[in-house]
């Protein structure tokens, strides 16, 4: 939808204009302001102050994952879930307040509430209610993020019993049964979470196997653990329609050459994300998008418009808040540094899927390493079989796997997959080691605290074949 493009009620000129309150943009706004620059930051939703991560993604979902893992059999599912959502809301509200204060206390920062639309070269019109504000800037950051995509499936719309990853966080009451359409990282994370809250969960995955970007044995371990928690995963299931009735939602899908129907209290659409660029008028600002609709950038995050950069999910890069933070470093180097830092500098960037236990990985899978011609050595063990790392057993969660892929020619670590308690922490150690060319033997023989999850590396790397 296009906004009014007549003369603005007021006008401002700033050094740096940030559109959207995401991680990269808000961090760079603070940096610029502390350097004496005049900064304006525009956010159209009071519920998104601070960005996607703290409001609807990383932080609130991990609160819910943690709370789900703490639920006891004696806890009433509905009451427990409602309390978990309340804790989620309390923390995210506090984080919004803190994020606002961090910029509001800087005298040279102008915080603007409203919808931004490019009207020309580094020129934006902000509309808030009946008021408009025109802003011109030396530098503009497009920092509007992404949102859950609605797939082109008959009846697939968010509302009522049909949810995306944002609305499902406030579903009420807790659904007794849930169908997750999509077997990717978000879909499986929510499947695991809601199973631990007490729902019966079915995942319909259109791929031949879930987690197809992971090593088969790692994916099989994850799916086995999900099954043990009551999550049923159906692969090669092509959803053709969704219908929501007053009592249940019904999903129709094709599998094994047959048409199948499945009913549930709620449906989660988890088939990817799309850029949040509606009504930005990018074309009037000279900003091109790629074939997926994300803002096109080069390795320095420069768009096709002079002085305009795109940070975070909206530029189509890896959709992690810590990558958005690194985007901030790249653009900060362009504005205040040597201008050499780029996305090409990123090495061994890890990620974690917060299943129970979490699955974390960095680097290459075994198949990828072999395809690239490395002299591959592999070691893998189920966590329950790793005698030298009792931490998982101490915490009552012995499930999972550790798999390491090493270059036999020089003993360098090529990739590691960890699925065990605290894997989201251990993977950062491995990633750091990879960036600094620490060998597999050095990781194997390092002294780690006991009992810790890290010391699984001692035993697993000692079994390299």
Q: Active-site residue numbers? A: 450
Q: Give the up-direction half-sphere exposure of residue 147: CA atoms within 13 A in the CB hemisphere.
A: 12
Q: Which residues of 384-420 are buried (b: 16+ CB within 10 A; e: fewer)?
A: eebeebbbbeeeebbbbbbbbbbbeeebbbbbbbbbb
**370 preceded by a cis bond (ω within 30 of 0):** no
Best CA proximity match to 392, nearest among 460, 462, 452: 452
Provide the total of helices (H) and of strands (E) in the chain, helices listed first. 12, 22
Do 379 and 460 meet the contact criterion of CB atoms below 8 Å apart? yes
Q: What is the rounded CA–CA span in Å between residue 235 and residue 320?
A: 26
Element (H, E) at 366: helix 366-371
Angle at 44 between CA 39 and CA 47, to 5 degrees: 110
Kindly report the length of the chain: 465
């Amino acid at each position: 939808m296009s906004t009014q493009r007549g003369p603005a009620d007021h006008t401002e000129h700033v050094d740096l204009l940030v559109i959207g309150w995401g991680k990269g943009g808000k961090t760079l706004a603070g940096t610029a302001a502390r350097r004496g620059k005049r900064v304006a930051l525009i956010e159209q939703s009071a519920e998104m102050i601070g960005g996607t991560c703290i409001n609807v993604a990383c932080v609130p979902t991990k609160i819910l994952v943690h709370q789900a893992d703490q639920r006891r059999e004696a806890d009433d599912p509905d009451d427990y879930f409602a309390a978990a959502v309340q804790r989620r809301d309390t923390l995210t509200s506090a984080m919004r307040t803190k994020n606002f204060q961090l910029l509001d206390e800087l005298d040279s920062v102008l915080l603007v509430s409203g919808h931004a639309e490019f009207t020309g070269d580094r020129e934006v019109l902000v509309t808030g209610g009946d008021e408009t504000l025109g802003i011109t800037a030396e530098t503009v950051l497009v920092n509007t993020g992404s949102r859950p995509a609605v797939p082109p499936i008959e009846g697939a719309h968010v509302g009522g019993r049909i949810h995306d990853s944002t609305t499902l966080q406030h579903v009420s009451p807790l659904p007794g049964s849930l169908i997750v359409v999509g077997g990717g990282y978000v879909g499986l994370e929510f499947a695991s979470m809601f199973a631990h809250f007490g729902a019966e969960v079915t995942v319909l995955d259109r791929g031949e196997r879930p987690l197809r970007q992971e090593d088969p044995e790692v994916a099989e371990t994850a799916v086995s653990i999900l099954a043990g928690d009551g999550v049923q995963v159906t692969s090669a299931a092509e959803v053709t329609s969704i219908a929501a009735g007053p009592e249940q939602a019904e999903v129709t899908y094709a599998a094994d050459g047959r048409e199948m129907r499945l009913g549930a209290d709620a449906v989660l659409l988890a088939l990817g994300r799309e850029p949040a660029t509606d009504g930005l008028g990018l074309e009037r600002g000279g900003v091109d998008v790629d074939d997926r609709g994300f803002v096109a950038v080069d390795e320095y995050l420069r768009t096709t418009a002079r002085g305009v950069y795109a940070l975070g999910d909206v530029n189509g890069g890896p959709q992690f808040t810590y990558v958005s933070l690194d985007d901030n470093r790249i653009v900060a180097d362009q504005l205040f540094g040597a201008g050499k830092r780029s996305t090409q500098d990123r090495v061994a960037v890890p990620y974690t899927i917060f299943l129970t236990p979490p699955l974390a990985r960095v680097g290459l899978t075994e198949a990828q390493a072999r395809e690239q011609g490395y002299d591959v050595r592999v070691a893998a063990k189920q966590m329950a079989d790793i005698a030298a790392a009792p931490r998982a057993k101490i915490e009552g969660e012995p499930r999972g796997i550790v798999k390491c892929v090493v270059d036999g020619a020089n003993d360098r670590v090529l990739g590691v997959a960890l699925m065990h308690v605290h894997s989201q922490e251990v993977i950062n150690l491995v990633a750091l080691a990879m960036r600094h060319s620490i060998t597999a033997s050095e990781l194997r023989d390092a002294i780690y605290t006991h009992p810790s999850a890290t010391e699984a590396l001692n035993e697993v790397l000692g079994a390299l074949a």
